[in-house]
Amino acid sequence: MAVLQGLCKNCGSLVMYNSADEMCDCIFCNAVFPIGEVIPVDAELKDIVFPMEKFERKTNTGAKNQYSTMPDRVTPVVERNAKSEALDEGVETKQFEIQAKDVKAPKKVVAIITGAAAVCLLVTVVVSFPLYKKRTEVHSKMEDKMHSIVENIVKIDETKDADGNTPGYSIQGISCQKVSMLTGDEVDEATAELLFNNYCAALKSAGSSADKDDVELKLYSKNGIYTVKSGKAKFSENKVATETSKKK
């Protein structure tokens, strides 16, 4: 009679049994099975699937409780298999996680990233510059045309100050579609509409993409403010001017 070692066929724990015994009883999972089914300790564990069935503790099974507290060979194998399965499924485990602080970018990489950012900026400038240039071109053409737009209609200050500002008028919008004019003259709706039409014609010849319906003229005059849209002038009383003129 010899004391033998093997692995429980249900849970993989180490079991010890007598060669004279018929049955082996696993103290860990309570499985009872013939000693012929005990798995040899040197078996290739990765090929073995342990059922891990749950058994109630049985008494009088005819088997002796034989077990050992020797190092567990199974748990590490099960864990290793679980990990490699997780990797196969593309699931990251903490063990393989790389944190930002672990990565030191080589100078070459930094240079490439910096270069790429510079290229992006350059592309943005190259794409947007023609638009900007066109806009400023139309804008400066409209400034040049301002004299002919208002000539013989109203008197506005057409001068540019040292900072490039034009106190008598203001041209705004991406296609110069908004314009305000300031005059000390007294004007009527027809005058405002005439200025509007002149401005639209000048815009067209300056190469602006603005449609007549996009254009809006605000005319600040002695007797009030005119807003011209789609060629129609609307008068809104300038209260400040009215009160001032009443006092006079």
Interacting residue ranges for Zn ion, rule: CB under 5 A: 8, 10-11, 13, 26, 28-29, 31
Nearest CB to Zn ion, comparing residues 63 and 176? 63
Burial of 142 (0-12, 13-18, 19+ CB in 10 A): buried
Nearest CB to Zn ion, comparing residues 51 and 115? 51
Nearest CB to Zn ion, comparing residues 13 and 183? 13
Q: How far is the CB of 20 from Zn ion (least distance, A)?
A: 21
Q: How far is the CB of 89 from Zn ion (least distance, A)?
A: 28
Nearest CB to Zn ion, comparing residues 52 and 109? 52
Q: How far is the CB of 7 from Zn ion (least distance, A)?
A: 8
Answer for the pair 182, 156: CB distance below 8 angstroms, yes or no. Answer: yes
Ranges of H-type helices in 6-73? none
Nearest CB to Zn ion, comparing residues 29 and 150? 29
Q: Go through 156-176 and write b for each residue having 16 or more CB atoms within 10 A of its CB, e for each that does not.
A: bebeeeeeeebebbebebebb
Q: How far is the CB of 99 from Zn ion (least distance, A)?
A: 40
Q: How far apart are CA 185 and CA 162, in angstroms?
A: 26
In the block, tokens 């080589």 appear at: 106
DSSP letter string, 176-239: S-EEEEEBSS---HHHHHHHHHHHHHHHHHTT----GGG-EEEEE-SS-EEEEETTEEEEE--H
